[in-house]
């Protein structure tokens, strides 16, 4: 097994058919780490509420995460927008040996102080969060897309779906990713951090500018990526 000082992941979307659960399981079984950060949308509570889909392999993935917590890895869970119901119980220091917190911070071996969030807190469509009517409309649109996605699944190859096609089209709009990155970076800078680690827009990458570090973990529906810190303090994106 590979050893990493710390592992960061986000956007696994367990409970959906687009989750690459076998690749995620292979990844979990292939490493051990001192710390393991789950930065939101690990369990897709939104979609589970509609489809009641959660097969055995997805339970196996949860058990593997809890197994790491049981055997010495410190596991932190920062909920995102698809598993936001977990925010209602934050903070919890020991939920099956897992700490559930709204946000966290991390200091790398090189001394950088990083903010750890999912990223939805700085979503450019802020009125969806602050306006009850618009949030309700946005939720209806997402749920409608989920139903259409389910019905259209026979039209798409395996491990592809309407939602994934739409997501890829959106992520490939460079302006979307640039605006998201700028918003997250500004949020972390104003809070006094040297960098930020997040997920949310499913675009893996590590970039540094003017001493500030931006890190995005990617996802386990399309990219199958994680971010790891090696023993020397270096951060890098890995693909499974």
Give residue 129's pLDDT band: very low, low, confident or very high (50, 70, 90): very low
CATH number of 2-239: 3.60.21.10
**100 neighbors 38 (Cβ within 8 angstroms):** no
Model confidence over 17-41: pLDDT tens digits?
889 999 999 999 999 999 999 999 9
The answer, yes or no, to whether residue 52 has pLDDT greater than 70, is yes
What values do phi and psi take at 71, rounded to 5? -110, 30
How far is Cα 34 from Cα 108, in angstroms, rounded to an integer? 13
Give residue 187's pLDDT band: very low, low, confident or very high (50, 70, 90): very high
The per-residue pLDDT for 201 is 87
Give the tokens for residue 139.
Answer: 């939720």
Q: Which residue would you say has higher pLDDT here, 175 or 117?
A: 117
Tell me if residue 153 falls in helix, strand or coil.
helix
Give residue 125's pLDDT band: very low, low, confident or very high (50, 70, 90): very low
Angle in degrees, 0-180, between the axes of helices 132-152 and 162-171, rounded to the nearest 10: 120
Residues 6+ apart with CB under 8 A from 186: 122
The per-residue pLDDT for 209 is 85
The answer, yes or no, to whether residue 141 has pLDDT greater than 90, is no
Residues 6+ apart with CB under 8 A from 139: none
The per-residue pLDDT for 130 is 46
The per-residue pLDDT for 22 is 96
As a whole number, mean pLDDT of residues 154-168 equals 57
Q: Where are the domains of the chain?
A: 2-239
């Amino acid at each position: 097994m590979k050893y990493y000082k710390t592992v960061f992941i986000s956007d696994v979307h367990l409970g959906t058919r687009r989750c690459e659960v076998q690749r995620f399981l292979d990844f979990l079984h292939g490493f051990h780490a001192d710390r393991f950060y789950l930065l939101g949308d690990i369990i897709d509570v939104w979609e589970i509420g509609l489809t009641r889909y959660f097969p055995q392999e997805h339970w196996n993935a949860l058990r593997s995460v809890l197994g790491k917590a049981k055997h010495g890895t410190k596991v932190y869970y920062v909920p995102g927008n698809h598993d936001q119901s977990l925010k209602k119980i934050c903070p919890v220091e020991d939920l099956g040996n897992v700490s559930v917190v709204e946000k966290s911070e991390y200091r790398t071996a090189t001394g950088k102080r990083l903010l750890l969030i999912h990223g939805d807190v700085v979503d450019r469509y802020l009125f969806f969060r602050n306006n009850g009517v618009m949030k309700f409309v946005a939720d209806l649109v997402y749920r409608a897309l989920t139903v259409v996605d389910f019905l259209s699944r026979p039209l798409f190859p395996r491990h592809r779906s309407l939602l994934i096609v739409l997501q890829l089209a959106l992520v490939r709009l460079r302006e979307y990713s640039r605006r998201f990155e700028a918003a997250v970076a500004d949020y972390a800078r104003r809070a006094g951090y040297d960098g930020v680690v997040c997920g949310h827009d499913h675009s893996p990458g590590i970039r540094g500018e003017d001493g500030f570090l931006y890190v995005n973990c990617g996802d386990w529906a399309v990219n199958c990526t994680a971010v790891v810190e090696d023993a020397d303090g270096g951060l890098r994106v890995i693909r499974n």
